[in-house]
Amino acid sequence: MVLEDRGGDGFEPKILIFACNWCSYAGADLAGVSRLQMPPNSRVIRVMCSARVRPEFVITALSQGLDGVLILGCHPGDCHYSEGNYLTRRRGLFLKNLLEYMGIEPERFQVRWVSASEGAKFADIVEEVTGQLKGLCPNRPPGHSE
């Protein structure tokens, strides 16, 4: 992949979001209830806790051509299962380092905290990450057919 090879006009990144049932999924719901508009690039998968997300999910998603993966969880200290999000945070850091080492842009994997009342924050994150990923080239890993 050549760095200058931007997708050009019309490139719309596809983003996978893992959201935990108790906080971030509810925050996403609130964004909906509040009719906060955002780019339609993301798809949410609900898990009970952000700590359910194993690194292989992220790696699979990116290696199959999804442009970005977000893990959203409760703010540290607020996890419904007390410690889950601490695990997420630690795994997230490790995974970020690994992905960067593999040459994957840091914007493509992020861990963020969204509480159930932060509808606006969810919308902002979707907006922000969509913008970041648009500025990168489409994620077409080596060997991926077009």
Partner 1 sequence: MPKTRVGVFVCHCGNNIAGVVRVPEVVEYARGLPNVVHVEDNLYACSEEGLSAIKEQIAEQNLNRVVVASCTPRTHEPLFKAACEEAGLNKYLFEFVNIREHCSWIHMHDPARATEKAKELVKMGVAKACYLEPQEELESEVFPAALVIGGGVAGMTAALNLGRQGIQVHLVEREQELGGLVRNVRTLFPTEQDTEELLEPLVEQLKSHPQITTYLGGEVENVDGFIGDFDVTIATDRQTKELKVGTVIVATGAHELKPTGFYGYSRLPNVVTQLEFEERFKQEGADIPRNVVMINCVGARIPERTYCGRFCCTTAIKNAIWLKEQDPEANVYVLQRDVMAYGVDIEKFYRRSMELGVRFVRYDIENPPQIMGEERAEAVKAYHQLMGREVVLPADLVVLTTPLVPREDNERLSKMLKVPLGSEGFFLEAHVKLRPIEFATDGVYVCGSARYPSNIPESVSQAYAAAAKAAIPIRDGLVRVQAITAFCDEGTCTACGNCVQVCPFGAIELQEGRFGTTARVNVAQCKGCGCCVAACPSGALQQRGFDDRQLFSMICALAEEMTSGFGG
Partner 2 sequence: MSNRSVLVIGGGIAGIQASIDLANMGFQVCLVESTPSIGGRMAQLDKTFPTNDCSMCILAPKMIECGGHEKVHLLTYSEVVEVQGEAGDFKVTVRRKPRYIDLAKCTGCGECVEKCPRRVPDEFNMGLEKRKAVYLPFPQAVPRKMTIDAEACLYLIKGRCRVCEETCQAGAIEFGQEEELLDLQVGAIVMATGFDPYDPAPLTEYGYGELENVITGLEYERLICASGPTGGNLQRPSDGKVPQLIAFIQCVGSRDVNYKPYCSSVCCMHATKEAILANEHYPELESFIFYTDMRAVGKQFQEYIIRAREEYNVSHIRSRPGKITVDEESGNPIVWYDETMFSEAGDPVRRVTSMEVDLVVLCQALVPHGVHREMVEKLGLELDESGFLAIPDKLIRPVDTTVLGIFACGFCQSPQDIPDSVVQASAAAARVAELLTPQE
Residues near partner 2, by CB under 8 A: 22-23, 26, 30, 33-34, 77-78, 115-121
CB of 66 to partner 1, least distance (A): 5
Stretch that binds partner 1, among 11-19, 95-103, 107-115 (CB under 8 A): 11-19
Q: Whole-angstrom Cα distance, residue 11 to residue 137?
A: 8
Which of partner 1, partner 2, none lies near 13, with the C-beta cut-off 5 to 8 A by kind?
Answer: partner 1
CB of 7 to partner 1, least distance (A): 7
* Nearer residue to partner 1 within complex by CB, 101 or 122: 122
Q: Whole-angstrom Cα distance, residue 66 to residue 44?
A: 13
Among 4, 37, 101, 142, binds partner 1 (CB under 8 A): 37
Q: Whole-angstrom Cα distance, residue 80 to residue 106?
A: 28
Which of partner 2, partner 1, none lies near 117, with the C-beta cut-off 5 to 8 A by kind?
Answer: partner 2
Q: Nearest to residue 76, comparing CAs of 87, 65, 67?
A: 87
Q: Whole-angstrom Cα distance, residue 126 to residue 40?
A: 9
Are 36 and 7 spatial neighbours (Cβ–Cβ below 8 Å)? no
